A and B are shown apart, each in its own frame.
Chain A
Amino acid sequence: MNEELRALLRAKANEVPSYDEVPRRLTRRVRRRIARNAVVLTATVAVIAGGAFTGVRALTTAGPAGIGPATTPSASPTPTPSATHSSPAPTSPTSPSPAACTASQLRAVGLLEGAAGSREGAIGVTNLSDRPCTLEGTPTIALFDENQQPIDSGVEFSSSPPGWVVDGSSEPRGWPVVTLAPGKGTASVRIRWSNWCPQGRPTPLWRMVLHGNGRLDEDAGTLDVYGLDAAEAPPCNGPGQPSTIEVGPFEPGR
Chain B
Amino acid sequence: MSRPGIGDLYLQHAATAVRLAYLLTGDRALAEDLVQDAFVRLAGRLVHLRDPEAFDTYLRTTVVNLSRSHFRRKAVERGYLEKAKGEAAMSHSSTPDRSIEIRDELWHALRRLSHRQRAAIVLRFYEDLPEAEVASILECAPGTVKSLVSRGLDKLRYEIGGDEL
Query: A residues engaging B (CB < 8 A)?
Result: 1-2, 4-6, 8-23, 25-27, 29-30, 33-34, 36-37, 113-114, 116-117, 199, 235, 237
- Say whether, besides A12-B107, A19-B14, A20-B11, A30 and B6 are in contact (CB < 8 Å): yes
Asked if A30 and B43 sit within 8 Å, CB to CB, the answer is: yes
Q: Known pairs A5-B106, A117-B139. 20 more at Cβ < 8 A?
A: A1-B156, A5-B110, A6-B125, A8-B110, A9-B23, A9-B125, A9-B126, A16-B28, A16-B31, A19-B11, A22-B10, A23-B36, A25-B36, A33-B40, A33-B44, A37-B44, A114-B65, A116-B139, A237-B139, A237-B140
Tell me which residues across on chain B come within 8 A of A116, comparing CB atoms. Answer: 61, 136, 139
Please give, as numbers and ranges, the residues of chain A lying within 8 Å of B71 by CB-CB distance.
none
Which of chain B's residues 8-35 have a Cβ closer than 8 Å to chain A?
A: 10-11, 14-15, 18-20, 22-23, 28, 31
> Does B84 touch A at the CB level, under 8 Å?
no
A-B pairs, top 4 by smallest CB distance, nearest first, are A13-B19, A9-B126, A30-B43, A19-B14
Contact A22 B7 (CB under 8 A): yes
**Which of A6, A14, A17, A235 contacts B139, CB < 8 Å?**
A235
Provide the main secondary structure of the chain B interface. Answer: helix
A100 → chain B, closest Cβ, in Å?
31
For residues 110 through 165 of chain B, which have their beta carbon under 8 Å from a beta carbon of chain A? 110, 121-122, 125-126, 136, 139-140, 153, 156-157, 165
CB pair B125 A5 closer than 8 Å: yes
Partner of A113, one of B45, B65, B107: B45
Q: Which residues of B contact A20 (CB under 8 A)?
A: 11
CA distance A201 to B126 in the complex (A): 34
Q: Least Cβ distance of B85 to chain A in Å? A: 18
State the B residues within 8 Å of A (CB).
6-7, 10-11, 14-15, 18-20, 22-23, 28, 31, 36, 39-41, 43-45, 48, 61-62, 65, 72, 102-103, 106-107, 110, 121-122, 125-126, 136, 139-140, 153, 156-157, 165
Chain A min CB distance to B100 (Å)? 11
A11 to B36, CA, bound (A): 23
Given contacts A26-B36, A235-B139, contact A8 B107 (CB under 8 A): yes
The answer to whether A26 touches B61, judged by C-beta atoms less than 8 angstroms apart, is no
Minimum C-beta distance from B50 to chain A (A): 9
Contact of A8 among B19, B20, B45, B103 (CB under 8 A): B103
Rounded to whole angstroms, the CA-CA distance of A118 and B139 in the bound complex is 10
B61 neighbours in A (Cβ, 8 Å): 116
